[in-house]
Amino acid sequence: MLGNFDRITFDQEIMGGQACIRGMRIPVSLVVNLVAHGKQFTEIIEEYPVLEKEDIEQSLEYAAWFDPGTGPMIKFLADMGVSTKTVLWLRNSGYEAIHIGAGAL
């Protein structure tokens, strides 16, 4: 298994071997894409009730780890629909997150 990524699994029978969450048919790329497009953790969990907050956090950590030579490979442009708390969490986790729009950070 990969370091501390105990929630990230790979199985050729599930999503063609893509990085998935806990053996489910939910790829890490989907979770990262949802966050990148402004979904808050609570919204993602409402849409995918089998997910837990830790699944989302680990998906982001895995995406950042995936290319350690360049650092976090994800940059987030968060519109005003994304909470300041989420943007600050992304920043504190080592991601480049920028709040855009009125009242930007």
Quote the pLDDT of residue 82: 59
Task: For the chain, give every domain's residue range.
Answer: 8-99
Identify which has the larger pLDDT, 76 or 4. 4
Q: How many residues does the chain have?
A: 105
- The pTM assigned to this predicted structure is 0.63
pLDDT digits (tens, 9 = 90+) for 83-94: 666 667 777 777
Question: From 1.10.3720.10, 1.10.10.10, 3.90.550.10, 3.90.420.10, which CATH number describes the 8-99 domain?
Answer: 1.10.10.10
String of DSSP letters for the chain:
--TT-TTEE-BTTBGGG--EETTSS-BHHHHHHHHHTT--HHHHHHHSTT--HHHHHHHHHHHHHT-TTTS---EEEE-TTS-HHHHHHHHHTT-EEEE-STT--
Q: What percent of the chain has pLDDT above 70? A: 63
Quote the pLDDT of residue 54: 92
* Alpha carbons 10 and 22: distance in angstroms, whole number: 9
Quote the pLDDT of residue 105: 39
Identify which has the larger pLDDT, 76 or 9. 9
Quote the pLDDT of residue 53: 93
